Structure 1
Amino acid sequence: MTSTAKLAPRERLLRAAADLFYREGITATGVDKLCQAAGISKKSMYQFFATKDELLTESLTACGPASVAGYFADPAADLTPRERILHVFEHLEKLAAEPDFFGCPFVSAAAELRDPIHPASLVAGRFKQMMTDYFEAHARVAGATDPETLAKQLTIVYDGAAARSVVRATGLDGLSLLTASALLAAAGIHPAGRESDR
Protein backbone atom coordinates (compact mmCIF):
# COMPACT_ATOMS: atom_id res chain seq x y z
CA MET A 1 0.00 0.00 0.00
CA THR A 2 1.28 3.47 -0.83
CA SER A 3 2.15 5.41 2.31
CA THR A 4 0.48 8.77 2.87
CA ALA A 5 3.88 10.48 2.81
CA LYS A 6 4.50 9.28 -0.76
CA LEU A 7 1.20 10.61 -2.07
CA ALA A 8 0.96 13.82 -4.06
CA PRO A 9 0.04 16.89 -1.96
CA ARG A 10 -3.49 17.10 -3.38
CA GLU A 11 -4.15 13.43 -2.58
CA ARG A 12 -2.75 13.85 0.93
CA LEU A 13 -5.06 16.79 1.47
CA LEU A 14 -8.10 14.89 0.23
CA ARG A 15 -7.36 11.97 2.55
CA ALA A 16 -6.65 14.22 5.53
CA ALA A 17 -9.88 16.10 4.89
CA ALA A 18 -11.96 12.93 4.65
CA ASP A 19 -10.46 11.63 7.89
CA LEU A 20 -10.73 14.84 9.90
CA PHE A 21 -14.19 15.80 8.67
CA TYR A 22 -15.39 12.30 9.62
CA ARG A 23 -13.70 12.07 13.03
CA GLU A 24 -13.95 15.67 14.22
CA GLY A 25 -16.67 17.25 12.13
CA ILE A 26 -16.71 19.87 9.41
CA THR A 27 -17.07 22.97 11.56
CA ALA A 28 -14.46 21.86 14.09
CA THR A 29 -11.88 21.18 11.39
CA GLY A 30 -10.18 24.39 10.33
CA VAL A 31 -7.90 25.02 7.38
CA ASP A 32 -4.81 25.13 9.60
CA LYS A 33 -5.52 21.67 10.98
CA LEU A 34 -6.20 20.30 7.50
CA CYS A 35 -2.93 21.64 6.15
CA GLN A 36 -0.96 20.39 9.14
CA ALA A 37 -2.44 16.90 8.78
CA ALA A 38 -1.65 16.84 5.06
CA GLY A 39 1.80 18.34 5.50
CA ILE A 40 1.23 21.23 3.12
CA SER A 41 0.98 25.02 3.35
CA LYS A 42 -2.25 27.01 3.27
CA LYS A 43 -1.03 28.61 0.06
CA SER A 44 -0.73 25.17 -1.51
CA MET A 45 -4.18 24.18 -0.30
CA TYR A 46 -5.78 27.21 -1.93
CA GLN A 47 -3.99 26.39 -5.16
CA PHE A 48 -5.84 23.08 -5.20
CA PHE A 49 -9.19 24.17 -3.73
CA ALA A 50 -10.72 27.63 -3.73
CA THR A 51 -12.62 27.05 -0.47
CA LYS A 52 -12.96 24.60 2.40
CA ASP A 53 -16.41 23.71 1.04
CA GLU A 54 -14.87 22.73 -2.27
CA LEU A 55 -12.33 20.55 -0.44
CA LEU A 56 -15.14 18.92 1.55
CA THR A 57 -17.08 18.13 -1.62
CA GLU A 58 -14.04 16.73 -3.40
CA SER A 59 -12.97 14.66 -0.39
CA LEU A 60 -16.40 13.02 -0.20
CA THR A 61 -16.32 12.38 -3.94
CA ALA A 62 -12.82 10.91 -3.86
CA CYS A 63 -13.11 8.83 -0.69
CA GLY A 64 -16.76 7.85 -0.99
CA PRO A 65 -16.21 4.76 -3.14
CA ALA A 66 -13.84 3.28 -0.54
CA SER A 67 -16.38 4.02 2.19
CA VAL A 68 -19.12 2.03 0.48
CA ALA A 69 -16.98 -0.71 -1.09
CA GLY A 70 -16.87 -2.97 1.95
CA TYR A 71 -20.62 -2.91 2.38
CA PHE A 72 -21.40 -4.49 -0.97
CA ALA A 73 -20.77 -8.18 -1.44
CA ASP A 74 -18.33 -9.34 -4.10
CA PRO A 75 -20.36 -9.85 -7.31
CA ALA A 76 -18.50 -13.13 -7.87
CA ALA A 77 -19.35 -14.52 -4.43
CA ASP A 78 -21.82 -17.42 -4.27
CA LEU A 79 -24.49 -15.60 -2.29
CA THR A 80 -28.25 -15.35 -2.52
CA PRO A 81 -29.88 -11.93 -2.88
CA ARG A 82 -30.91 -12.15 0.78
CA GLU A 83 -27.32 -12.84 1.81
CA ARG A 84 -26.10 -9.96 -0.33
CA ILE A 85 -28.49 -7.59 1.41
CA LEU A 86 -27.55 -8.83 4.86
CA HIS A 87 -23.86 -8.47 3.97
CA VAL A 88 -24.36 -4.71 4.35
CA PHE A 89 -25.54 -5.14 7.93
CA GLU A 90 -22.87 -7.69 8.77
CA HIS A 91 -20.27 -5.15 7.69
CA LEU A 92 -22.01 -2.43 9.71
CA GLU A 93 -22.00 -4.64 12.81
CA LYS A 94 -18.23 -5.13 12.47
CA LEU A 95 -17.52 -1.43 11.98
CA ALA A 96 -19.84 -0.34 14.79
CA ALA A 97 -17.85 -2.45 17.24
CA GLU A 98 -14.68 -0.46 16.48
CA PRO A 99 -13.74 2.57 18.63
CA ASP A 100 -13.14 4.75 15.55
CA PHE A 101 -16.64 4.30 14.14
CA PHE A 102 -18.48 7.62 13.95
CA GLY A 103 -21.48 6.63 11.87
CA CYS A 104 -22.16 7.07 8.19
CA PRO A 105 -19.85 9.79 6.78
CA PHE A 106 -22.49 10.87 4.27
CA VAL A 107 -25.27 11.25 6.81
CA SER A 108 -22.87 13.04 9.18
CA ALA A 109 -21.82 15.52 6.51
CA ALA A 110 -25.36 16.25 5.32
CA ALA A 111 -26.64 16.60 8.87
CA GLU A 112 -23.92 19.04 9.83
CA LEU A 113 -24.28 21.12 6.67
CA ARG A 114 -28.09 21.35 7.00
CA ASP A 115 -28.24 22.46 3.39
CA PRO A 116 -29.72 19.93 0.95
CA ILE A 117 -28.42 21.82 -2.09
CA HIS A 118 -24.85 22.21 -0.83
CA PRO A 119 -22.57 20.42 -3.31
CA ALA A 120 -21.26 18.12 -0.56
CA SER A 121 -24.82 17.24 0.49
CA LEU A 122 -25.61 16.33 -3.10
CA VAL A 123 -22.54 14.07 -3.23
CA ALA A 124 -23.56 12.47 0.07
CA GLY A 125 -27.05 11.90 -1.30
CA ARG A 126 -25.70 10.14 -4.38
CA PHE A 127 -23.66 7.73 -2.28
CA LYS A 128 -26.63 7.02 -0.02
CA GLN A 129 -28.72 6.32 -3.12
CA MET A 130 -26.15 3.74 -4.19
CA MET A 131 -26.95 1.72 -1.09
CA THR A 132 -30.70 2.01 -1.64
CA ASP A 133 -30.27 0.96 -5.27
CA TYR A 134 -28.19 -2.03 -4.16
CA PHE A 135 -30.93 -3.11 -1.77
CA GLU A 136 -33.63 -2.66 -4.39
CA ALA A 137 -31.78 -4.60 -7.09
CA HIS A 138 -31.30 -7.65 -4.87
CA ALA A 139 -34.75 -7.41 -3.33
CA ARG A 140 -36.24 -7.43 -6.84
CA VAL A 141 -34.27 -10.54 -7.83
CA ALA A 142 -35.34 -12.21 -4.58
CA GLY A 143 -38.99 -11.61 -5.43
CA ALA A 144 -39.87 -9.01 -2.80
CA THR A 145 -43.48 -7.87 -2.96
CA ASP A 146 -42.43 -4.20 -3.05
CA PRO A 147 -38.67 -3.95 -3.64
CA GLU A 148 -38.62 -0.16 -3.87
CA THR A 149 -40.23 0.36 -0.47
CA LEU A 150 -38.19 -2.45 1.08
CA ALA A 151 -34.98 -0.81 -0.15
CA LYS A 152 -35.94 2.47 1.50
CA GLN A 153 -36.83 0.67 4.73
CA LEU A 154 -33.49 -1.14 4.76
CA THR A 155 -31.66 2.13 4.22
CA ILE A 156 -33.50 3.62 7.19
CA VAL A 157 -32.50 0.62 9.30
CA TYR A 158 -28.88 1.10 8.29
CA ASP A 159 -28.89 4.83 9.06
CA GLY A 160 -30.75 4.38 12.34
CA ALA A 161 -28.50 1.55 13.49
CA ALA A 162 -25.36 3.53 12.65
CA ALA A 163 -26.69 6.54 14.55
CA ARG A 164 -27.64 4.40 17.56
CA SER A 165 -24.12 3.01 17.73
CA VAL A 166 -22.66 6.52 17.80
CA VAL A 167 -25.13 7.88 20.36
CA ARG A 168 -24.72 4.86 22.65
CA ALA A 169 -20.98 4.58 22.02
CA THR A 170 -21.34 0.84 21.74
CA GLY A 171 -21.68 -1.94 19.19
CA LEU A 172 -24.99 -3.09 17.78
CA ASP A 173 -24.86 -6.68 19.09
CA GLY A 174 -26.66 -8.01 16.02
CA LEU A 175 -29.61 -5.60 16.28
CA SER A 176 -29.28 -4.28 12.73
CA LEU A 177 -29.13 -7.82 11.33
CA LEU A 178 -32.21 -8.88 13.30
CA THR A 179 -34.17 -5.85 12.12
CA ALA A 180 -33.12 -6.22 8.49
CA SER A 181 -33.92 -9.94 8.57
CA ALA A 182 -37.40 -9.19 9.93
CA LEU A 183 -38.03 -6.74 7.08
CA LEU A 184 -36.87 -9.29 4.52
CA ALA A 185 -39.13 -11.97 5.98
CA ALA A 186 -42.09 -9.58 5.95
CA ALA A 187 -41.37 -8.94 2.26
CA GLY A 188 -41.37 -12.67 1.53
CA ILE A 189 -37.60 -13.16 1.43
CA HIS A 190 -36.68 -16.07 3.67
CA PRO A 191 -33.39 -17.86 4.37
CA ALA A 192 -34.66 -21.33 3.48
CA GLY A 193 -34.24 -22.53 -0.11
CA ARG A 194 -31.18 -20.99 -1.71
CA GLU A 195 -32.31 -21.67 -5.27
CA SER A 196 -35.70 -19.99 -4.86
CA ASP A 197 -34.03 -17.09 -3.05
CA ARG A 198 -31.75 -16.15 -5.91
Structure 2
Amino acid sequence: MPTPSGSRRGPGRPSRRCRPAGQELFYSHGASVGVDALLKEANVARRSLYEHFGGKDGLIEAVIRRAAEQDIAWYEEALAGADEPRARLLGLFDRLDDLVSDADFRGCRYFATDLALTDPEHPAHAETRSFRRRLRALLAREVTALGHDDPDRAAEQLHLLIEGTLVMGSTRGDQHPARAARDLAETLLA
Protein backbone atom coordinates (compact mmCIF):
# COMPACT_ATOMS: atom_id res chain seq x y z
CA MET A 1 0.00 0.00 0.00
CA PRO A 2 1.69 3.13 -1.10
CA THR A 3 1.71 6.13 1.14
CA PRO A 4 0.07 9.10 -0.51
CA SER A 5 2.21 11.74 -2.13
CA GLY A 6 2.08 14.33 -4.80
CA SER A 7 1.57 18.02 -5.19
CA ARG A 8 -1.77 19.46 -4.24
CA ARG A 9 -0.99 23.10 -4.86
CA GLY A 10 -0.84 24.94 -8.11
CA PRO A 11 -2.94 24.66 -11.23
CA GLY A 12 -5.64 22.10 -11.70
CA ARG A 13 -9.23 21.61 -10.78
CA PRO A 14 -10.00 21.93 -7.07
CA SER A 15 -11.41 18.38 -7.03
CA ARG A 16 -8.08 17.08 -8.29
CA ARG A 17 -6.29 18.90 -5.49
CA CYS A 18 -8.75 17.84 -2.77
CA ARG A 19 -8.37 14.09 -3.27
CA PRO A 20 -4.59 13.84 -2.79
CA ALA A 21 -4.65 16.40 0.02
CA GLY A 22 -7.45 14.51 1.75
CA GLN A 23 -5.70 11.19 1.19
CA GLU A 24 -2.50 12.44 2.77
CA LEU A 25 -4.21 14.13 5.71
CA PHE A 26 -6.64 11.29 6.42
CA TYR A 27 -3.77 8.79 6.33
CA SER A 28 -1.45 10.80 8.55
CA HIS A 29 -4.04 12.28 10.97
CA GLY A 30 -7.20 10.20 10.55
CA ALA A 31 -10.66 10.93 9.16
CA SER A 32 -11.37 13.37 11.99
CA VAL A 33 -9.14 16.00 10.36
CA GLY A 34 -10.98 19.31 10.16
CA VAL A 35 -12.39 20.90 7.04
CA ASP A 36 -10.21 23.98 7.46
CA ALA A 37 -7.04 21.86 7.45
CA LEU A 38 -8.25 20.10 4.28
CA LEU A 39 -9.00 23.36 2.53
CA LYS A 40 -5.62 24.81 3.47
CA GLU A 41 -3.70 21.72 2.41
CA ALA A 42 -5.53 21.49 -0.94
CA ASN A 43 -5.48 25.26 -1.44
CA VAL A 44 -9.17 25.36 -2.33
CA ALA A 45 -12.15 27.38 -1.21
CA ARG A 46 -14.82 25.88 1.04
CA ARG A 47 -17.31 26.29 -1.79
CA SER A 48 -15.22 24.01 -4.04
CA LEU A 49 -15.27 21.22 -1.47
CA TYR A 50 -19.06 21.34 -1.26
CA GLU A 51 -19.57 21.74 -5.03
CA HIS A 52 -17.39 18.76 -5.93
CA PHE A 53 -17.95 16.42 -3.00
CA GLY A 54 -21.02 17.65 -1.13
CA GLY A 55 -18.84 18.14 1.96
CA LYS A 56 -16.21 16.32 3.97
CA ASP A 57 -18.09 12.99 4.00
CA GLY A 58 -18.17 12.92 0.20
CA LEU A 59 -14.46 13.70 0.09
CA ILE A 60 -13.69 10.88 2.54
CA GLU A 61 -15.63 8.47 0.31
CA ALA A 62 -13.76 9.70 -2.80
CA VAL A 63 -10.41 9.46 -1.02
CA ILE A 64 -11.05 5.89 0.12
CA ARG A 65 -12.15 4.92 -3.40
CA ARG A 66 -8.98 6.49 -4.88
CA ALA A 67 -6.75 4.86 -2.25
CA ALA A 68 -8.39 1.47 -2.86
CA GLU A 69 -7.51 1.63 -6.55
CA GLN A 70 -3.89 2.41 -5.69
CA ASP A 71 -3.73 -0.23 -3.00
CA ILE A 72 -5.24 -2.97 -5.16
CA ALA A 73 -2.63 -2.11 -7.80
CA TRP A 74 0.04 -2.41 -5.08
CA TYR A 75 -1.22 -5.87 -4.12
CA GLU A 76 -1.38 -6.94 -7.77
CA GLU A 77 2.22 -5.78 -8.27
CA ALA A 78 3.33 -7.54 -5.09
CA LEU A 79 1.67 -10.77 -6.23
CA ALA A 80 3.29 -10.51 -9.66
CA GLY A 81 6.73 -10.89 -8.10
CA ALA A 82 7.03 -14.67 -8.61
CA ASP A 83 6.08 -17.38 -11.07
CA GLU A 84 4.00 -19.69 -8.92
CA PRO A 85 1.10 -18.99 -6.53
CA ARG A 86 2.76 -20.13 -3.29
CA ALA A 87 5.82 -17.96 -3.90
CA ARG A 88 3.59 -15.03 -4.90
CA LEU A 89 1.55 -15.26 -1.71
CA LEU A 90 4.60 -15.62 0.54
CA GLY A 91 6.35 -12.83 -1.33
CA LEU A 92 3.40 -10.61 -0.53
CA PHE A 93 4.31 -10.87 3.16
CA ASP A 94 7.89 -9.89 2.34
CA ARG A 95 6.54 -6.75 0.66
CA LEU A 96 4.27 -6.12 3.65
CA ASP A 97 7.33 -6.32 5.90
CA ASP A 98 8.98 -3.56 3.88
CA LEU A 99 5.78 -1.51 4.02
CA VAL A 100 5.18 -1.70 7.77
CA SER A 101 8.88 -1.12 8.50
CA ASP A 102 8.76 2.24 6.72
CA ALA A 103 8.90 5.18 9.14
CA ASP A 104 5.92 6.80 7.36
CA PHE A 105 3.66 3.78 7.81
CA ARG A 106 0.56 4.70 9.83
CA GLY A 107 -1.46 1.50 9.70
CA CYS A 108 -4.38 0.29 7.64
CA ARG A 109 -6.36 3.24 6.28
CA TYR A 110 -9.50 1.07 5.92
CA PHE A 111 -9.42 -0.11 9.52
CA ALA A 112 -8.74 3.43 10.74
CA THR A 113 -11.59 4.80 8.62
CA ASP A 114 -14.03 2.20 9.90
CA LEU A 115 -13.06 2.99 13.50
CA ALA A 116 -13.22 6.76 13.05
CA LEU A 117 -16.59 6.87 11.29
CA THR A 118 -19.13 5.64 13.80
CA ASP A 119 -22.16 6.14 11.55
CA PRO A 120 -22.70 2.71 9.93
CA GLU A 121 -24.39 4.43 6.96
CA HIS A 122 -21.39 6.63 6.16
CA PRO A 123 -20.60 6.10 2.46
CA ALA A 124 -16.92 5.43 3.18
CA HIS A 125 -17.87 2.12 4.84
CA ALA A 126 -19.12 0.80 1.50
CA GLU A 127 -15.73 1.68 0.02
CA THR A 128 -13.80 -0.08 2.78
CA ARG A 129 -15.97 -3.19 2.36
CA SER A 130 -15.47 -3.09 -1.40
CA PHE A 131 -11.70 -2.88 -0.98
CA ARG A 132 -11.68 -5.88 1.35
CA ARG A 133 -13.81 -7.94 -1.07
CA ARG A 134 -11.43 -7.12 -3.90
CA LEU A 135 -8.37 -8.02 -1.84
CA ARG A 136 -9.94 -11.28 -0.75
CA ALA A 137 -10.74 -12.08 -4.41
CA LEU A 138 -7.06 -11.57 -5.31
CA LEU A 139 -6.04 -13.93 -2.53
CA ALA A 140 -8.68 -16.50 -3.52
CA ARG A 141 -7.42 -16.37 -7.11
CA GLU A 142 -3.91 -17.26 -5.97
CA VAL A 143 -5.03 -19.94 -3.51
CA THR A 144 -7.25 -21.48 -6.20
CA ALA A 145 -4.30 -21.55 -8.61
CA LEU A 146 -2.33 -23.29 -5.88
CA GLY A 147 -4.96 -26.04 -5.80
CA HIS A 148 -5.89 -25.54 -2.15
CA ASP A 149 -8.78 -27.72 -0.86
CA ASP A 150 -10.77 -24.73 0.48
CA PRO A 151 -9.62 -21.59 -1.34
CA ASP A 152 -12.27 -19.29 0.11
CA ARG A 153 -11.39 -20.25 3.69
CA ALA A 154 -7.66 -20.01 2.98
CA ALA A 155 -8.15 -16.57 1.38
CA GLU A 156 -10.07 -15.46 4.48
CA GLN A 157 -7.24 -16.68 6.71
CA LEU A 158 -4.58 -14.97 4.58
CA HIS A 159 -6.62 -11.79 4.66
CA LEU A 160 -6.73 -11.99 8.45
CA LEU A 161 -2.94 -12.33 8.50
CA ILE A 162 -2.60 -9.27 6.26
CA GLU A 163 -4.98 -7.15 8.35
CA GLY A 164 -3.21 -8.25 11.52
CA THR A 165 0.14 -7.34 10.00
CA LEU A 166 -1.10 -3.86 9.12
CA VAL A 167 -2.60 -3.25 12.56
CA MET A 168 0.39 -4.62 14.45
CA GLY A 169 2.78 -2.84 12.11
CA SER A 170 1.38 0.49 13.18
CA THR A 171 1.97 -0.21 16.87
CA ARG A 172 5.04 -2.42 17.17
CA GLY A 173 7.96 -0.11 16.35
CA ASP A 174 10.93 -2.20 15.28
CA GLN A 175 9.06 -5.53 15.40
CA HIS A 176 8.29 -7.40 12.18
CA PRO A 177 4.73 -8.75 12.29
CA ALA A 178 4.81 -9.54 8.57
CA ARG A 179 7.56 -12.08 9.18
CA ALA A 180 5.46 -13.87 11.79
CA ALA A 181 2.45 -13.68 9.46
CA ARG A 182 4.56 -15.14 6.64
CA ASP A 183 5.45 -18.12 8.85
CA LEU A 184 1.77 -18.71 9.54
CA ALA A 185 0.96 -18.32 5.84
CA GLU A 186 3.57 -21.00 5.01
CA THR A 187 1.77 -23.39 7.36
CA LEU A 188 -1.59 -22.49 5.89
CA LEU A 189 -0.40 -23.04 2.31
CA ALA A 190 1.49 -26.29 3.02
TM tier relative to shorter chain:
0.7 to 0.9
Take 1:169 and 1:145, find their aligned partners in 2: how far apart are those partners?
37
Q: CA RMSD in A?
A: 2.1
Q: Residue deviations 1:44-97, cap 9 Å, x none?
A: 222212121111001111232112322223787651011222233222111101
- Aligned residue for 1:102, secondary structure, equals coil
Please identify the structure whose Cα radius of gyration is greater.
1
- Partners of 1:172 and 1:75 in 2: how far apart? 20
Relative to structure 1, the CA distance from residue 79 to residue 114 in structure 2 (aligned partners, 3 Å threshold; closer, same or farther) is farther
Distance 1:117 1:152, change over 3 A: farther
How many residue pairs align between the two structures?
184
Q: For structure 1, which runs of at least 5 residues remain unmatched after alignment?
A: 186-198
Say whether the 8 Å CA contact 2:22–2:60 is kept in structure 1: yes
Higher mean alpha-carbon deviation, 13-22 vs 77-86, is at 77-86
Using a 3 Å threshold, how does the CA distance of structure 1 residues 76 and 106 change in structure 2: closer, same or farther?
Answer: closer
Where 2:170 maps in the other structure, the secondary structure is helix
Query: How far apart in 2 are the matches of 1:104 and 1:75?
Result: 19
Alignment equivalent of 2:97, drawn from 93, 101, 104:
93
Q: 1:21 to 1:74 in 2, by over 3 A?
A: closer
| Aligned residue in 2 for 1:11 | 16
1:41 aligns with 2:45: yes
Distance 2:184 2:92 in 1: 13
Aligned AA (2:106): F
Percentage identity across aligned positions? Answer: 28
Q: Which residue, 173, 184, 187 being the options, matches 1:179?
A: 184
Q: Which residue is 1:108 aligned to?
A: 112
Counterparts of 1:137-176 in structure 2, within 5 Å, are 137-172=141-176, 174-176=179-181
Structure 1 10/177 Cα, relative in aligned 2: closer, same or farther at 3 Å?
Answer: same
User: Retained in 2: the 8 A contact 1:72–1:84?
Assistant: no
TM-score by length of structure 1 reads: 0.84
Question: In the superposition, relative to structure 1, how do residues 149 and 56 fare at CA in structure 2: closer, same or farther (>3 Å)?
Answer: same
Match of 2:75 in 1: 71
What per-residue deviation string (whole Å, max 9, x for no partner) do you get for residues 150-191 of structure 1?
A: 000000011111111112233416222222222111xxxxxx
Structure 2: where are the runs of 5+ without partners? none
Could you tell me how far apart the structure 2 residues matched to 1:181 and 1:65 are?
A: 28
Kindly indicate whether the alpha-carbon contact (under 8 Å) linking 1:93 and 1:171 is maintained by their aligned counterparts in 2.
no
